[in-house]
Amino acid sequence: MCGIVGYVGNDQAAPILLKGLEKLEYRGYDSAGVAVYDGTSIQVVKKQGRLKVLEDKIHNGADLAGTVGIGHTRWATHGKPSDVNAHPHLSSSGRFAVVHNGIIENYLSLKNSLIQKGYSFVSETDTEVIAQLLDYFYEGDLLDAVVRTIGKIEGSYALGILCRDQPDRIIGIRKDSPLIVGLGTGENFIASDIPAILGKTRDIYRLKENEIAVVEKTGVTVYNPKKVFVSKTPCHIDWDVSAAEKGGYDHFMAKEIMEQPKAVRDTISPRIKNGRIVLDDIQLTEEQLRNLSRIFIVACGSAYHVGVVAKYILERYTRIPVEVDVASEFRYRAPVVDNRVLVIIISQSGETADTLAALREAKRLGARTLSIVNVVGSSIANESDDVIYTWAGPEIAVATTKAYSTQLAVIYLLAIYIADKIGTMKPEEYRHYISELEALPDKIEKTLSGRDHVRQLARRFYRSNDIFFIGRNLDYAMSLEGSLKLKEISYIHSEAYAAGELKHGTISLIEEGTLVVALATQQKLFEKMMGNVKEVKARGAVVLGVTTEDNQQIEKETDCAIYIPRTCEMMLPSLAVLPLQAFAYYVASLKGCDIDKPRNLAKSVTVE
């Protein structure tokens, strides 16, 4: 996610803030800025683009006098990348400067209320609301203003706050977004991640949920939201810088696997308000949805696999026919598309060349286009009629994990939303699926807690030469992604097949000892899958089953099993994919592969 750095001490703040932000560049960002109190007022400088643009603008910080300040690198969520939308954000009075990681879900209602009270806004961001709220509540007691502000905002946040009237301190607070406090001698820090301050100190406080840190150069005091003092024990960091960037994990992929509960929560939570799905991002009317004759889903790689999942889900719940196309094939097959067709484009980067070309072809043919994209202001987002952003944050590893999971989450939101609008989902079903959506991030977290068992299985099978993945319906769609994850980072030959197709030729490839991963998460197809398991075992296969925790009879048919929590059938893919990601990661690690940068692959494919 975005990067936060704050400093208060005896040295010039701006150069320290810039150095800290440099250590967070690996996280990805589209703009950067700093705010420093110069003895009279808060000076803010921020620029779109790389950090170097900001550094050149202020001559590596030399132009900004002052020994207290906050800095930020932004990954756009609300508002396109621009100088104005970059952080820090100032209140209208100039009294408060704020940097923020996360998403404020109720910012529109707060913004409208503040406008009525006479406040003016200059940016498109949700963050500016926080600066204005602080100003509104401030009556001389900074801590009180902070407490009252966080009592009003809903969502996830890590905040760094600088107040012109009390320039001897900065405030740090977190909820669902990480923030740490760095402890120095005659100076102290806040940061969103350890690398930002590792060159200055190795002693930190890890703030817990809703804790508020008042950071001064002489010390740090931590309070809970009731303004009660909280005793903290320092933690000493002995990682090197490389390990620190990865949060202590060996690879970015491992870190990003573990970030999936938060990424999915950030994608879902702002779009459920008072028990209803609210998609402010799209302008598709109920009439347009009812008149759709067909939906096309166009994507590449893992995003294409999301599309395969989406086909099953959208057709089942909306009863609208769905076709899924590999983007590189879509525009060359003369697709039958007109103005009654919705083309859904899925891309993490929003710059995938084949997908962008397919989008342009769809628009040329008269289709309405809706993109599911992670990068705000990307080409695909800008050229689509509608866009829904997946708030996964930057993904560093080439092999996608959290971007894939957030794309799935958007598909669930979209399917429930459309089905409700066109009347193919009953009210009681709608309420049930909203409940399941809200519970999904916790179930993802629970699933990931069982990864040690997956690591043990990887030790058993990492010397395999060929691995097959099989499943039916949604499980087949998940097999495609499980196989791709394994082959792209471990270089083991792997294929995925619809289980019912085995006897039509593929079963001839099964030899004694061949590993077959059998996904059987759907209760209605469980017995059929067990029939397929028996077929491959009769030819000598070793079978690893993946199913829900209430289906332990799978152990009678398979050699080993992985269990995931029970959820509604629609959302089973979000849980089933997790052990497949982890299995691929551990196998590749045991083989000594370059997991974050697998051979011959790139993160964003910008050529055809």
In 3D, which of 446, 479, 477 has the Cα closest to residue 570?
477
Same domain flag for 41 and 112 = yes
Which pLDDT score is estimated for 606?
Answer: 45
Rounded to whole angstroms, how far apart are CA atoms 313 and 572?
11
Residue type, 347: S
Q: Determine how many CB atoms are found less than 10 A away from the CB of residue 256.
A: 28
Which one of 395, 429, 445 terminates a domain? 445
In 3D, which of 208, 171, 209 has the Cα closest to residue 88?
171
Which one of 383, 414, 445 terminates a domain? 445
Which pLDDT score is estimated for 601?
Answer: 77
In this predicted model, what pLDDT tens digit does every residue of 158-183 receive, in sequence order? 999 999 999 999 999 998 888 999 99
Rounded to whole angstroms, how far apart are CA atoms 440 and 230?
32
Judge contact between 100 and 87, C-beta under 8 A. yes
Q: Angle formed by the axes of helices 301-318 and 474-490, to 10°?
A: 170
Quick one: average pLDDT of 215-236? 95
In this predicted model, what pLDDT tens digit does every residue of 265-320 receive, in sequence order? 999 999 999 999 999 778 999 999 999 999 999 999 999 999 999 999 999 999 99
* 469: three-class secondary structure by DSSP: strand
Same domain flag for 507 and 492 = yes
Quick one: average pLDDT of 197-209? 91
Rounded to whole angstroms, how far apart are CA atoms 161 and 179?
13
Average pLDDT of the chain is 93
Per-residue tokens: 34: 């700093």
Per-residue tokens: 387: 């866009």
* Active-site residue, 2 included: yes
Same domain flag for 304 and 435 = yes
Phi, psi of 44 (to 5 degrees): -115, 130
User: Lowest mean pLDDT: which of 219-228, 240-249, 264-273, 566-575?
Assistant: 240-249
Rounded to whole angstroms, how far apart are CA atoms 109 and 31?
26
CATH number assigned to the domain comprising residue 458: 3.40.50.10490
In this predicted model, what pLDDT tens digit does every residue of 335-371 receive, in sequence order? 999 999 999 999 998 888 899 999 999 999 999 999 9
Rounded to whole angstroms, how far apart are CA atoms 207 and 517?
41
Which pLDDT score is estimated for 148?
Answer: 97
Q: What percent of the chain has pLDDT over 70?
A: 98
Rounded to whole angstroms, how far apart are CA atoms 397 and 256?
8
Same domain flag for 224 and 275 = no
Same domain flag for 179 and 268 = no
Own/partner pairs, 435-439, CB within 8 angstroms, 24+ separation? 436/567, 436/568, 436/570, 436/571, 437/268, 437/272, 437/409, 437/412, 437/413, 437/571, 438/268, 438/269, 438/272, 439/567
Q: Evaluate whether residue 308 is within a structural domain.
A: yes
Q: What percent of the chain has pLDDT over 90?
A: 82
Rounded to whole angstroms, how far apart are CA atoms 89 and 135?
12
Same domain flag for 497 and 541 = yes
Give CA angle at 282 (289, 308), nearest 5°.
65
Bond into 88 cis (ω within 30): yes
Quick one: average pLDDT of 567-586? 97
Residue 135: domain span: 3-245
Judge contact between 457 and 583, C-beta under 8 A. yes
In this predicted model, what pLDDT tens digit does every residue of 178-193 receive, in sequence order? 899 999 999 999 999 8
Name the active-site residue from 2, 163, 300, 593: 2
DSSP character for 250? Answer: S
Same domain flag for 128 and 66 = yes
Per-residue tokens: 177: 């977004």
In this predicted model, what pLDDT tens digit does every residue of 481-529 receive, in sequence order? 999 999 999 999 999 999 988 888 778 888 899 999 999 999 999 999 9
DSSP character for 303? Answer: H
Beta-carbon contacts of 547 under 8 Å, excluding residues fewer than 6 positions away, are: 519, 520, 521, 526, 554, 561, 562, 563, 564
Beta strand segments in 224-340, E: 229-230, 235-236, 272-273, 276-277, 294-299, 322-326
Same domain flag for 226 and 259 = no
Q: Determine how many CB atoms are found less than 10 A away from the CB of residue 219.
A: 9
Per-residue tokens: 569: 């059938």
In 3D, which of 472, 483, 428 has the Cα closest to residue 569?
472
Strands 466-471, 493-498: pairing kind: parallel
Q: Evaluate whether residue 601 is within a structural domain.
A: no
In 3D, which of 39, 15, 7, 38 has the Cα closest to residue 170?
7
How many structural domains does the chain have? 3
In this predicted model, what pLDDT tens digit does every residue of 143-152 receive, in sequence order? 999 999 999 9
CATH number assigned to the domain comprising residue 12: 3.60.20.10
Q: Evaluate whether residue 319 is within a structural domain.
A: yes
In 3D, which of 144, 49, 31, 22 has the Cα closest to residue 89?
31
Per-residue tokens: 291: 């008149």
Per-residue tokens: 444: 């993802």
Which one of 245, 280, 313 terminates a domain? 245
Same domain flag for 100 and 187 = yes
Residue 605 pLDDT class (50, 70, 90 cuts): low
Judge contact between 342 and 367, C-beta under 8 A. yes
How far is the first Cα of the chain from the last one, in angstroms, to the nearest whole number? 29
Same domain flag for 97 and 139 = yes
Rounded to whole angstroms, how far apart are CA atoms 315 and 321?
6
Q: Evaluate whether residue 602 is within a structural domain.
A: no
Q: Determine how many CB atoms are found less than 10 A away from the CB of residue 131.
A: 31
Per-residue tokens: 109: 């209602």
Same domain flag for 205 and 223 = yes
Same domain flag for 331 and 265 = yes
**If you search the block for the tokens 């709608």, which residue do you land on?**
430
In this predicted model, what pLDDT tens digit does every residue of 374-420 receive, in sequence order? 888 788 998 999 999 998 887 889 899 999 999 999 999 999 999 99
Element (H, E) at 101: strand 96-104
Residue type, 487: K
CA 244 to chain centre: 20
